[in-house]
Amino acid sequence: MSSAPAALDYRAMSDWLRRFRRPLILTHQRSDGDAVGSVCAAALAMKKFDLDPRVVLFEPIGARYRFLQPLIEWHEWSAGSEAQTADTDCVVIVDTCASAQLEPALAFLRSPPPTLVIDHHVTRDPIGDRAGDLRIIDETAGAAALLIAEWIASAGIRADARMATAILTGLATDTGWFRFSNTNARLLRAAADMLAAGADANKLFNAIYEQENIERVRLTARLLSSLRLEMDGALAVMELRESDFAASGANASMTEDLVNEANRIATVRATALFIEQPGSRIRVNLRSKNAIDVAKIAREFGGGGHANAAGARVEGEWSDVVRRVIGEMSNALYSGQ
């Protein structure tokens, strides 16, 4: 795995970690496969460093990733509880460097112990940038799990089947099962190493993508019936209102990947999905088929992400938010940015 950028100093990461005992490992809200896979593999690997890591998620682990549950001990963040951070001597933040995605822990993160950020997103808030902190950030990495895999290799830790499964989960899900433009030789090399170490790709595919419940399928049906095309078919717009969740029996945790449904349409170059949330909040998911930089648009609405996959949570009136986001997407498509 020698094709990682030279700037990624995995040896410094090992040296940094060796100074501590009790890392608190955090990842972003609405943790996806890369988030949970990366923190799981990181925790397993850190134990080989004689560390006693504690993984804390902001919500229960998603149903799709329940097979990771037995691999480590998972904790759930409880707001205002000092106990969960009391004996922590460092913080490791994985798969994000955006305050907006760490909201429940923001009070704690105002003056945290020494912090390590391991991330592959463009959005970069002032986290892990003090003296004594460390950042391992590489926007060219297709998944945070790739950085974990490369660190494990550089640290001379032998990935076992559990670590390999967790890492492959991150590599596979962040690349849409190795279909998106972030799939490259470097990432596939790491994936091959994980298969060699005992991860089972077919079992993983079945566990992640072939376990849907009827509620999510019914929600998908409602999503597709909301689909409309604008800009001569270049822009797909989809909406999920609270009534769609009620009618299908689905909940907010069942929306992962739904934004990609419109990609199958030949003319579609970008997609906007709007999801109604309690308290006049709207989750906006944006996708681009290498046509426009949707991270730039997401940032204008207080969010962030990657050029081809980004999102934001916007406060406001439904039709107004939809109109404004579509306006920005249309402008970008029109000017070819």
Q: Which residues bind Mn ion (CB under 5 A)?
A: 34, 95, 144, 174
At its nearest, how many Å lie between Mn ion and the CB of residue 144? 5
At its nearest, how many Å lie between Mn ion and the CB of residue 120? 6
Query: With respect to Mn ion, which residue has the nearer C-beta, 34 or 193?
Result: 34
3-state secondary structure the chain: CCCCCCCCCHHHHHHHHHCCCCEEEEECCCCCHHHHHHHHHHHHHHHCCCCCCEEEECCCCCHHHHHHHHHCCEEECCCCCCHHHHCCCEEEEECCCCHHHHHHHHHHHCCCCCEEEEECCCCCCCCCCCCCCEEEECCCCCCHHHHHHHHHHHCCCCCCHHHHHHHHHHHHHHCCCCCCCCCCHHHHHHHHHHHHCCCCHHHHHHHHHCCCCHHHHHHHHHHHHHCEEEHHHCEEEEEECHHHHHHHCCCHHHCCCHHHHHHHCCCCCEEEEEEEECCCEEEEEEEECCCCCHHHHHHHCCCEECCCEEEEEEECCHHHHHHHHHHHHHHHHHHCC
At its nearest, how many Å lie between Mn ion and the CB of residue 147? 10
At its nearest, how many Å lie between Mn ion and the CB of residue 27? 9
At its nearest, how many Å lie between Mn ion and the CB of residue 125? 16
Query: With respect to Mn ion, which residue has the nearer C-beta, 145 or 329?
Result: 145
Query: With respect to Mn ion, which residue has the nearer C-beta, 174 or 328?
Result: 174
At its nearest, how many Å lie between Mn ion and the CB of residue 167? 12
Query: With respect to Mn ion, which residue has the nearer C-beta, 143 or 197?
Result: 143
Query: With respect to Mn ion, which residue has the nearer C-beta, 95 or 328?
Result: 95
Residues in the chain: 337
CA distance 322 to 60: 30
Residue number with the shortest CB distance to Mn ion? 34
Query: With respect to Mn ion, which residue has the nearer C-beta, 95 or 293?
Result: 95
Query: With respect to Mn ion, which residue has the nearer C-beta, 4 or 333?
Result: 4
At its nearest, how many Å lie between Mn ion and the CB of residue 121? 7
